[in-house]
Amino acid sequence: MAVKVTLLNYTPNPEQTVAMAAKLCYSPSGIEDIRDGLTEEKTASFIEMLADLGHASPTEHVSFTFGIEGISRACSHQLVRHRIASYSQQSQRYVDGTKFDFVTPPEIEKNEKALAAFNRVIAQQTEAYREIRDALVTGYIREFTGDGETGDEALTERFRAENKKHFAAFVKKANEDARFILPNASTTKIVCTFNARSLANFFAHRCCNRAQWEIREVAEQMLLLCLDAAPHLFKNCGPSCLFGPCPEGAMCCGKTKEVREKYGRG
C-alpha cells in the first residue's frame, strides 16, 4: 500500500489569521479593526515581513490536520517524536493484527534474496500472531467457564455464539499481548495536527535527504498540500539547506545544489 497523505482540515483563512496576529504586534490596531485593510497583497506582505524578521510565533495561530495511511510503525514512531503536535493512531489493541498490511522498503524489494527473507519472516510473524492470540483467547475462555475438557476449536466457537460480549473482550485482551510479535513493517494509520510553526520545523528535518525515505515521502506530500492551502505561509519551507549551509556537517548528502533545484531555489 502506497503512502497517502490527506489534508483533512485547517484553520480557515490561515494566512489572514497569521497576518492579523502580526498586525497586532507591529501596529496600533485594536482587536475590533484588526482585519481591516488586510488585502491579499497586504497579508502576503505581513507574512514576508515575519519571515525576514525570524518572528515565527504568529504562525502558531493556525493549524493543519492530516490523515496519513500506508506508513509503517517504524515511520509513525519517527513522526510522533515531533512533540508540538497532536496524534490519534490506529490501535493494535482493537484492530486484528492479521489484517494489517506490511511496508516493504524499496531496497529490500529490489533485492531478490533480501525480499525472500523478508517475506518469509513476515508470513511467520503473521501466523505466530494468530496462534498466540487464539491460544490466549481459548485460555481466557477456559478460565472463565472452568471447562477443561472440550476441544479448543469447539469451545471457542460455542463461547463466541453464546457470549459475544465476553468473547470480544477476551479477543481485545489477547490482542494486547499478541501484538508484541508484530514487526515495525506493520502498516498503521494516523491523524495528526500541527501548527504552522511546528510544520516548518518538521519540514526542515524530514524533507532532508538524510531523513529516512518513508517519512521524507510523508513530509513532501504534507508540504505540497500546505503550499496549496497557504502558499505564502509555506513558500520558504523545506530542508534546511535551501537557504544556508547543510546543518548535517560531515553527514551532508552532498547534493545541496540538486535539492535547491528540486525546490525551485537553484
Catalytic residue ranges: 206
How big is the CA angle at 253 (ends 252 and 254), to the nearest 5 degrees? 90
CA distance 51 to 62: 16
One DSSP character per residue, 108-129 reads: HHT-HHHHHHHHHHHHHHHHHH
Q: Cell numbers 535527504 correspond to what residue? A: 209
How big is the CA angle at 139 (ends 136 and 144), to the nearest 5 degrees? 130
Quickly count: other Cβ atoms within 10 Å of residue 253's Cβ: 14
* DSSP reduced 3-state for 65: strand
Q: How far is CA 91 from CA 6, 63, 96, 139, 168, in A?
A: 20, 24, 9, 23, 15
Are 246 and 252 in contact by the 8 Å Cβ rule? The answer is: yes
Specify burial of residue 162 (Cβ count, 10 A radius: 0-12, 13-18, 19+).
Answer: exposed
Closest CA to 92 of 204, 30, 27, 180: 180
